[in-house]
Amino acid sequence: MSDRVRALVTGASSGLGVEFCRQLAESCDEVVLVARTESALIELATELEAKGVEAHIVVADLAKMIDVTRVVETIRQKGPFQYLINNAGFSTLGAFAEQEPQTQHDMVALHVTATIELCSAALGGMIEQGKGFIVNVSSLTSLLPMASVAVYGGTKAFLNNYSEGLQSEVAQQGVKIQSLCPGYIRTAFHTTGSFTGFDASRVPDEMWMEAKDVVAECLAELDNGPVVYVAGEYNRNLLASMGK
């Protein structure tokens, strides 16, 4: 079996995904970048390869099962992988009754179905190696249900429960699972058309984190941290003050 260290990151074209690729590149020989925007993936792959990392791109919309299947096949062909980062995601803002049902179904497909499929594809190789790390990117919203993001919060709550259950199954096989729960991050996440009406200036500065800091915390806590990991001291203190 190859001793090369490999990572696969979804949602790799921006935000947390880019940071995961950059920081994992420091300890990986190969990184597979998965996202919808080919130009951004090519740019990031070029950056990583300049640092001596073998980078592969897969242009895929993981809300579509046909694209999920292509990524699953990539895992089977290029594995085993030591890191799987299920980061791809999106949200809408507004009352559930006013949302397009298909958009909400796409969110479930991306956050839930794609995560299950990719975990299933990667776990076999990790178990065979006796080591591996899976990060399912959740959200602080999973622990603080909020109006206007009902489906988003629900899918992220699933990731917490799923990750804890999965960790209990593979703990003795050297695989570590983390459900990462960040709060507000300075990325393009809140600037999409589906977030029209969101006023970032109303969020106190102390609640915002930089993507690089969230990823650094996540990776530092992979070995010994809790399965459901809340990034940011402010966010952890907020939850504690609410008895959560």
Residues with a known catalytic role: 152, 156
| Full 3-state SS string of the chain | CCCCCEEEEECCCCHHHHHHHHHHCCCCCEEEEEECCHHHHHHHHHHHHCCCCEEEEEECCCCCHHHHHHHHHHHHHHCCCCEEEECCCCCCCCCHHHCCHHHHHHHHHHHHHHHHHHHHHHHHHHHHHCCEEEEEECCHHHCCCCCCCHHHHHHHHHHHHHHHHHHHHHHHHCEEEEEEECCEECCHHHHCHHHCCCCHHHCCHHHEECHHHHHHHHHHCCCCCCCEEECCHHHHHHHHHCCC
**Alpha-carbon gap, residue 149 to 238, rounded angstroms:** 20
End-to-end CA distance of the chain: 44
**Alpha-carbon gap, residue 83 to 133, rounded angstroms:** 5
**Alpha-carbon gap, residue 93 to 31, rounded angstroms:** 32
